[in-house]
A and B are shown apart, each in its own frame.
Chain A
Amino acid sequence: MIYLTRKCEFSASHYYHNPDWSDEQNRRVFGKCANLNGHGHNYTLEVTVKGDVDPVTGFVVDLKELKDILNREVVEAMDHRHLNKEVPEFASKVPTTENVAIAIWQRLNDKLHVAKLHRVRLYEMPDLFVDFYGEA
């Protein structure tokens, strides 16, 4: 079994707001992130897939195909977008790094044919990242 990681970057804005809560509760729980004018990050995404090496090609996965999937499912959908307003998953979910990582996993998981998705690691900043392994 070989693990292969592909990296890509996207920049997006978001805010944290739970509509079931008062403004005061949103501010208390989410702090600066509750500012409804939003703010942004340069996200770095690392996607790790695992699989056996194809004896003919020597590949775990065709990197070009993986790159195309990442571009289509993540970069085109999220780069230079407002996550709350433009990415459907976050119409009803707070776009925390945790939830963005989970949404990316769900977008990618059934698109990979040969290799199996192992981990989505999403950096919101160089000093903060979330790992999601598809666990319930």
Chain B
Amino acid sequence: MKAYLTRRYIFSASHRLHADTLSVEQNRMTYGKCNNPHGHGHNYSLEVTVGGQVNDETGMVCNLVDLDEAVRQAVLDRFDHQNLNTLTDFAALVPTTENLTEVIHNILKQCFPSAHLERVRIEETLKNSFEYSDGAELRH
């Protein structure tokens, strides 16, 4: 039987939305308050969904302790209480939550081979959320 397991994590980070290829005025028009030169922050809620056959012996899609450890090392330690703009991931990428979602998906795909990564979903605030599944159709 195939099941999908979703785990939620919280991290806090600051960012500033600014594209070097746009003028000062264009940046202000495009990003509004998010273009404030001093940046601002969010408590990001990250949902990681993995899918796979439920193992007959363990009853699990994957061991949750292993998933937590992989996410902690690869994602939370990397982004929590950081300024996203200062990280190499965003040296040439505006740290919108769209881009952050894709970056985290790509990181986790590499570092957690125990189950298939189905989806990464991030709530930037309670009012907006972003999902990425590397082209696969999202199922709700």
Contact = CB atoms under 8 A, between A and B. Distances in A.
Interface of A: 16, 18, 20-21, 29-31, 93-99, 101-102, 119, 126-133, 135-136
A123 to B, nearest CB: 9
Nearest to B45: A127
Given A135-B1, A136-B2, A127 B54 contact: no
Contacts, number: 64
A122 to B, nearest CB: 10
Contacts of B61: 98, 130
Contact of A130 (B5, B9, B63, B139): B5
Interface of B: 1-9, 49, 54, 57-61, 63-65, 139-140
Given A128-B64, A131-B3, A98 B59 contact: yes
A95 B60 CA distance: 10
Contact of A131 (B6, B7, B57): B6
A98 B57 contact: no
Given A18-B58, A133-B139, A98 B5 contact: yes
Given A128-B64, A132-B3, A136-B2, A99 B8 contact: no
B59 A132 contact: no
